[in-house]
């Protein structure tokens, strides 16, 4: 392409609304434009990157035998009622009514539609397994759209769904997608990490997230510094530190703590550190009120708690419930004498002579020990923090890093096939439910993640496989005929070999052209300057390095072609 003919509306100033670097650079480099909150137009450069990501995804999905389809954005309410998600999905699901008063929604995901398709068309075990995928526009009415296309309301997703006859088959389909995703993110040129993710009540470790490592990422990854354990914060388990503790009881005493409710207030007032306190948190759940006990310096992980107790609903109890269940006001709850079930974090096993709430206004109890009350059991219910012991190996401790979730794979089991009655007949004519999996990649978010991972003060540093152009041929002086002739020659040789080349034929100052080339992150640049050309040379520069390499005009295209091939087959 000729730069002069391209629609590349770049911006010099940093846009105010952009909080993260990818959003800022995508606006400045003319990749995207905002139409409404969380709704964006892709401009030619951005779209070229998006299409390259799509192409890599297609190739790797097809290689695993997945087949591409395209489902509608508009979905009927009835299917969502069948799966019970019409009620459960909440406000992210954009619902509307047509002229015939039919209720519809914009698809935030396609389990319902694809399950309906497959249950109608697949009757026999002979037609299974099958994995279908699409690259399609989703709509989620996100509560806080932000970071440009990283968390938008309308966005492009690759979503795939597998259908198998049994667990073993479903496990294989899952592993195929696991491998495909690794290949996809490798080929995109990412530094990424696969982590165990929350599976809700389905349980097992059959969900993984693919996280691009970036300090600006919204997600926290917890991993072991010694073994391969890695999980997102929601799911991260904590190992048990073995410390002996005595079995004392009965020595506790009442202490007055006027108006001291919070952990830091009580610990300051009593002059002890927060880890000498035990928090008693009362929750309302779909299985009644419960109390959860955790050391004063730690937080409860609601996701782990919900999974442990197989809860659909979990929320902090209101003041009235607290008074009713404990006899005392908010801020003074303690485990002694409570009749609701108490679930204790593991740490409690190793605590001695600690302080708890007195279930009475302005009162705490000190020198309490585990024997002074009864708990249902000891569990891992706290939020992991760096320095915690690894849950898998003996030696490791946990560390935290940040990442951007670009992909998520999930073993669904019978969840949708049961609720939507998707069955097949086995060889003996017996009916069974299909075993399903689902697999998503945020295509736009993948482009943004590449920019979060690769940038400097001058702009984007994009991995070659997904950069909008692979090389920019840049004649410094477009009015110098020999320069233009050499530039055109190199450019045409590159095009003939299928290299994605841009020729900056604009009659602009060299500084402007260099800046634009850097801003839009083109990985390779061939600079054709008058002085070098006198010696028959041009300069090749990689976006990420400061070094120039001088090569003869006749060798420039060959060298570039080699670099492009190397980058694509790392
Ligand atoms: P998140 O926790 O970031 O909201 P999710 O768990 O809701 O993601 P999935 O339902 O698993 O996401 O969707 C699959 C993929 O789609 C995600 O891994 C992510 O890359 C992408 N994605 C999800 N929501 C958005 C969004 N609002 N904007 C852009 N991409 C998104
Ligand atoms: Mg979400």
Query: Model confidence over 48-88: pLDDT tens digits?
Result: 999 999 999 999 999 999 999 999 999 999 999 999 999 98
442 in ligand 1 pocket by Cβ < 6 Å? yes
pLDDT tops 90 at residue 401 = yes
pLDDT tops 80 at residue 247 = no
In a domain, 267, yes or no: yes
**144 burial level (CB within 10 Å; 0-12, 13-18, 19+):** exposed
**344, 379, 414 — which closes off a domain?**
379
Q: How confident is the model at residue 246 (pLDDT cuts 50, 70, 90)?
A: low
Residue 569: predicted pLDDT = 83
Q: Average pLDDT for residues 114-119, to the nearest whole number?
A: 98
Residues 126 and 176 in one domain: yes
Q: Which ligand is nearest to the CA of 140?
A: 1
Q: Which atom of ligand 1 is nearest to the CA of 410?
A: 11
Per the structure, the count of domains in the chain is 3
**379, 412, 427 — which closes off a domain?**
379
- Residue 501 φ/ψ region, left for φ over 0, alpha for ψ in the -120 to 50 degree band, beta for the rest: beta
- Ligand 2 mean position, distance from CA 30 (Å): 27
403 in ligand 1 pocket by Cβ < 6 Å? no
Tokens 């990818």: give the residue.
Answer: 22
Task: Note down the domain range covering 510.
Answer: 469-568
Return mean pLDDT, the chain.
95
- Ligand 1 mean position, distance from CA 288 (Å): 32
Smallest CA-to-CA distance from 288 within 321, 266, 248, 254 is with 321
In a domain, 137, yes or no: yes
pLDDT tops 90 at residue 539 = yes
Q: How confident is the model at residue 521 (pLDDT cuts 50, 70, 90)?
A: very high
Atom 11, ligand 1: which residue's CA is nearest? 408
Q: Residue 357 sits in a domain of what CATH number?
A: 3.90.960.10
Between CA 89 and CA 111 the distance in angstroms is: 13
Q: Average pLDDT for residues 543-555, to the nearest whole number?
A: 95
Residues 19 and 44 in one domain: yes
Q: Residue 522 sits in a domain of what CATH number?
A: 3.40.50.800
Q: What is the total residue count of the chain?
A: 570
Q: How confident is the model at residue 163 (pLDDT cuts 50, 70, 90)?
A: very high
DSSP assignment string, 515-549: HHHHHTT-SEEEEE-HHHHHTTEEEEEETT---EE
CB-CB contact of 386 with 398 (8 Å):
yes
In a domain, 464, yes or no: no
Between CA 62 and CA 68 the distance in angstroms is: 8
- Radius of gyration of the chain from its Cα atoms, rounded to whole angstroms: 29
- Ligand 2 mean position, distance from CA 266 (Å): 38
Residues 46 and 155 in one domain: yes
Atom 22, ligand 1: which residue's CA is nearest? 442
Neighbouring residues of 242: CB distance < 8 A, sequence distance ≥ 6: none
148 in ligand 1 pocket by Cβ < 6 Å? no
57 in ligand 1 pocket by Cβ < 6 Å? no
155 in ligand 1 pocket by Cβ < 6 Å? yes
Residues 232 and 308 in one domain: no
Smallest CA-to-CA distance from 290 within 314, 263, 261, 323 is with 314
Percent of the chain scoring above 70 in pLDDT: 98
Residue 248: predicted pLDDT = 74
In a domain, 246, yes or no: no
DSSP assignment string, 167-216: HHHHHHHHHHHHHHHHHHHHHTT--EEEEE---GGG-TT-EEEEEEE-TT
Q: Which ligand is nearest to the CA of 438?
A: 1
Residues 292 and 362 in one domain: yes
pLDDT tops 90 at residue 244 = no
138 in ligand 1 pocket by Cβ < 6 Å? no
Percent of the chain scoring above 90 in pLDDT: 92
Residues 298 and 422 in one domain: no
Residues 87 and 12 in one domain: yes
Residues 26 and 79 in one domain: yes
In a domain, 395, yes or no: no
Q: How confident is the model at residue 570 (pLDDT cuts 50, 70, 90)?
A: confident
CA of residue 352 relative to chain centroid, distance? 40
Q: Average pLDDT for residues 114-124, to the nearest whole number?
A: 98
Residues 27 and 115 in one domain: yes
Tokens 């401790």: give the residue.
Answer: 397
Query: Model confidence over 434-485: pLDDT tens digits?
Result: 999 999 999 999 999 999 999 999 999 999 999 999 999 999 999 999 999 9
Q: Average pLDDT for residues 159-165, to the nearest whole number?
A: 98
Residue 261: predicted pLDDT = 93
Atom 13, ligand 1: which residue's CA is nearest? 440
Q: Residue 201 sits in a domain of what CATH number?
A: 3.30.930.10
198 in ligand 1 pocket by Cβ < 6 Å? no
Q: Please choose from 220, 445, 448, 450 the residue to mutate so as to test ligand 1's pocket, defined by most ligand atoms within 8 A of CB.
A: 445
Tokens 């914009």: give the residue.
Answer: 106
3-state secondary structure of 274: helix
pTM reported for the whole predicted model: 0.90
158 in ligand 1 pocket by Cβ < 6 Å? no
- Ligand 2 mean position, distance from CA 70 (Å): 22
Atom 5, ligand 1: which residue's CA is nearest? 408
Residues 413 and 487 in one domain: no
CB-CB contact of 415 with 200 (8 Å):
no
pLDDT tops 70 at residue 202 = no
pLDDT tops 60 at residue 273 = yes
- Ligand 2 mean position, distance from CA 92 (Å): 9
């Amino acid at each position: 392409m000729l730069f002069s003919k391209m629609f590349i509306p770049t911006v010099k100033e940093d846009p105010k609304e952009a909080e993260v670097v990818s959003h800022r650079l995508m606006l400045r480099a003319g990749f995207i434009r905002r139409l409404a909150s969380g709704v964006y137009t892709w401009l030619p450069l951005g779209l070229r990157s998006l299409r390259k990501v799509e192409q890599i995804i297609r190739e790797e999905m097809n290689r695993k035998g997945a087949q591409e389809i395209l489902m509608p954005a508009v979905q009927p309410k009835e299917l969502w009622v069948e799966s019970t998600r019409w009620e459960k999905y909440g406000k992210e699901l954009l619902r509307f009514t047509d002229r015939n008063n039919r209720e519809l929604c914009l698809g935030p995901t396609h389990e319902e539609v694809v399950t309906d398709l497959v249950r109608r068309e697949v009757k026999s075990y002979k037609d299974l397994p099958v994995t279908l995928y699409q690259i399609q526009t989703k709509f989620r009415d996100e509560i806080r759209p932000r970071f440009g296309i990283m968390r938008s309301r309308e966005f492009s997703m690759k979503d795939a769904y597998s259908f198998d006859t049994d667990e073993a088959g479903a496990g294989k389909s899952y592993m195929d997608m696991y491998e495909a995703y690794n290949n996809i993110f490798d080929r995109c040129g990412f530094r990424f990490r696969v982590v165990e993710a929350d599976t809700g009540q389905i349980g097992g470790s059959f969900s993984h997230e693919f996280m691009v490592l970036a300090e600006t990422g919204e997600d926290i990854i917890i991993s072991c510094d010694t073994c391969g354990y890695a999980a997102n914060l929601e799911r991260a388990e904590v190992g048990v530190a073995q410390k002996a503790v005595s079995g004392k009881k009965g020595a506790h005493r009442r202490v007055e703590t006027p108006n001291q409710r919070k952990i830091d207030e009580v610990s300051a007032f009593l002059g002890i550190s927060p880890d000498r306190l035990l928090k008693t948190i009362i929750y309302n759940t779909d299985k009644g009120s419960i109390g959860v006990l955790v050391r004063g310096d730690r937080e409860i992980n609601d996701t782990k708690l919900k999974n442990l107790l197989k809860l659909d609903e979990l929320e902090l109890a209101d003041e009235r419930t607290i008074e009713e269940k404990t006899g005392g006001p908010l801020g003074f709850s303690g485990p002694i004498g409570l009749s609701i079930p108490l679930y204790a974090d593991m740490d409690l096993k190793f605590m001695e002579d600690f302080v708890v709430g007195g279930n009475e206004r302005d009162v705490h109890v000190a020198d309490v020990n585990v024997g002074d009350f009864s708990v249902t059991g000891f569990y891992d219910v706290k939020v992991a923090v760096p320095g915690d012991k690894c849950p898998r190996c003996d030696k490791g401790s946990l560390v935290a890093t940040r990442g951007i979730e670009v992909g998520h794979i999930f073993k669904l089991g019978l969840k949708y096939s049961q609720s939507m009655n998707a069955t097949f007949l086995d060889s003996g004519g017996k009916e069974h439910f299909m075993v399903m999996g689902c697999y998503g990649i945020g295509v736009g978010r993948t482009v943004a993640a590449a920019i979060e991972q690769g940038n400097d003060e001058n702009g984007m540093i994009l991995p070659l496989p997904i950069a909008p152009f692979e090389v920019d041929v840049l004649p410094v002086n477009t009015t110098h005929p020999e320069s233009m002739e050499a530039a055109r020659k190199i450019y045409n040789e590159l095009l003939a070999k299928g290299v994605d080349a841009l020729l900056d034929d604009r009659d602009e100052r060299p500084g402007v052209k260099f800046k634009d080339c850097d801003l839009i992150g083109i990985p390779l640049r061939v600079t054709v300057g008058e002085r070098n050309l006198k010696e028959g040379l041009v300069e090749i520069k990689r976006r990420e390095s400061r070094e120039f390499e001088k090569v003869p005009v006749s060798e420039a295209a060959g060298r570039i072609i080699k670099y492009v091939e190397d980058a694509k087959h790392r």
